[in-house]
Structure 1
């Protein structure tokens, strides 16, 4: 029996969640709007916004869960990886709360938590089941792209990762090239639904093994748009849906091509996706389509647990609590945290 308060503050979402015995009672997220006019996250502004949001978000999480702060058995927090200033806010709050209440403190790796989001029971799906070990997880976000073999809750092996840009970064930078506002990933997904994915052909990098590279694709999109606009200044407005569909199609084929290769080599039939880009509707449908052909069992978290959220930190903290895996008050956040 354990009630966990979780804090997530790795980037530009301030989030708090309450988890009791593995069941999520609340998951509150405050999104920072201040970054939109800058076209990306400004670290200093992010940390200031976290300071403004952290207490109201925690209060709302406790209230929504109908849990008193005296009922909290431990606090889990994102130690890293992420923006150091942002992580400091969440870490400091978690340390202060546990010190005041004399309860355990639990550090969580942000990327492991994305994967463990698959173990949050779904209230919306009566047929929900958690994946069985071992399973393969494609973790795709704005900062990371990884193929991970998940052998146990905290026994995970990265077998492939990006050599440069992450998939989410490729989406956002493409959106910037297309003059779409930040964050651009969801907008590309929206336009892609109306477009032809085969309208334009973008190159697929030939990277050995299970690693990824998206910098070349980003450059090819930049040159493609530049050359087309020289001929027709209104090219973007006329072809936005087709461009978005074609770019999204290429990113998805790159991602799923590596997953298919890894699944075959390791003989794994349970495939999961996690991270912010796992909310992309094109990726979700393409994975399900490939799963039918390959005979895979697919696991996709609810939308609220795809992007950065404290629910995933809570479930990771819950399993660490069961193992009595606690840390002391001398703990410090890490911008780069070993997996």
Structure 2
């Protein structure tokens, strides 16, 4: 069966086609990023994001069909992001998916956005096997999950305030970097000197698997005020100190979660999962801990339609029933454990 995936939860429009047949897998995917549109505002403008999704979905669908060599008539189900995300953006994707499915006479598969990220490493050439521990670091979410199978997720720890991605973006703005801030800060940190700026490691020794990064952002504010005029090297040093602090906490908690679970596999997913220093540190420590670490391909770390098509396909294969196309609702706030 061919599953069409549609992602429109924030500022990226993604469309993909996934085959559940033997030897199938991901047939084609296309993505449009709204970064250039939002950079003048320093962040995502929800109304502009929603309108742009309207413009992009049909051209992206045509591109995916052309690239895959498939036709609309061959689609057996339409998966789409139901939440969490921006309400207006979610509504565009959901309405498009439901209308398309109704016109084709096929069912729909509403998908949790974070489930898409969680399962995205399964698109890799060397995918993990269930069960595994997952470190989800995507946008406003930083969570550790024990994953038994599709739809079977146990929360082990989560952020109590700012998530890692939010802290990256907010700190980048404090340092005068552009949007999106996270990648810009990571690039700047590569020019910073190790331990030149030592920042707190929030909740590193809390005894649990929760996170808290708002205090780290405040520590950066304090350091910038103390310095007054900040040179380019000092900005790089602060960026390095900030990134090192977040990476140390994420790595420590993730490895502890794997140890407590008794499992041998760690999956890292979400936008922050593309951070090179995080990957370097996890790879180094995992060798000592004798665990296997899996990442999605870089193109699938950010929001994309491929992960939604995959999640829909895997839910179908796991026996989760699809729903008839028609009435629908989006869920801007939606705990992953409620799927």
TM-score, with structure 1 as normaliser: 0.94
Equivalence map 1:247-286=2 (5 Å): 247-286=242-281
Q: Determine if the alignment matches structure 1 residue 44 to structure 2 residue 47.
A: yes
2:294 pairs with 1:294: no
Which runs of 4 or more aligned residues in structure 1 lie more than 6 Å from their structure 2 counterparts after TM superposition?
Answer: none
Given the alignment of the two structures, is residue 154 of structure 1 paired with residue 139 of structure 2, yes or no?
no
- Which residues of 2 match residues 50-199 of structure 1 at below 5 A? 50-122=53-125, 128=126, 130-199=127-196
1:327 offset after TM fit, Å? 2.0
Report the alpha carbon displacement of residue 338 of structure 1 after superposing the two structures with TM.
2.8
Distance in 2, matches of 1:201 and 1:297, equals 30
> Pick from 321, 325, 330: which aligns with 2:321?
325
Normalised to the residue count of structure 2, the TM-score between the two structures is 0.94
Alignment deviations for residues 228-283 of structure 1 (CA, whole Å, 9 cap, x no partner): 12xxx2x2423232222111110101111111221222222211100011011111
Offset, 1:208: 4.3
Give the length in aligned residue pairs: 328
Rounded to whole Å, the distance in 1 between the matches of 2:29 and 2:222 is 42
User: Match of 1:125?
Assistant: none
Which residue matches 2:220?
Answer: 221
Deviation at residue 121 of structure 1 after TM alignment: 4.0
Tell me which moved more, 195-204 or 74-83.
195-204
For 2:27, the equivalent position in structure 1 comes to: 25
Task: Note the C-alpha offset of 1:292.
Answer: 1.0
Contact 2:150 2:315 in 1 (8 A): no
For residues 89 and 271 of structure 2, the distance between their equivalents in structure 1, rounded to whole angstroms, comes to: 18
Report the 3-state secondary structure (helix = DSSP H, G, I; strand = E; otherwise coil) of the residue aligned with 2:49: helix
1:306 correspondence with 2:308? no
Once residues 179 and 169 of structure 1 are traced to their aligned partners in structure 2, the CA distance between those partners, rounded to angstroms, is 15
Structure 2 CA distance for partners of 1:258 and 1:121, relative to 1, 3 Å = closer
Alignment partner of 1:337 out of 324, 334, 338: 334
- 2:192–2:233 Cα contact (<8 Å) kept: no
Q: Secondary structure at the match of 1:34?
A: helix
Cα pair 1:23 1:121 within 8 Å, conserved: no
SS at match of 2:219: helix
Residues 171 and 251 from structure 1, CA distance in 2 versus in 1: closer, same or farther, beyond 3 angstroms?
A: same
> 5+ unaligned residues in a row in structure 1: which ranges?
123-127
Q: Is the 8 A contact 1:178 1:236 kept in 2?
A: no
Conservation of the 8 A alpha-carbon contact between 1:10 and 1:81: yes
Residue 324 of structure 1, CA deviation: 4.9
Give the stretch that moved more between structures: 207-216 or 159-168: 207-216
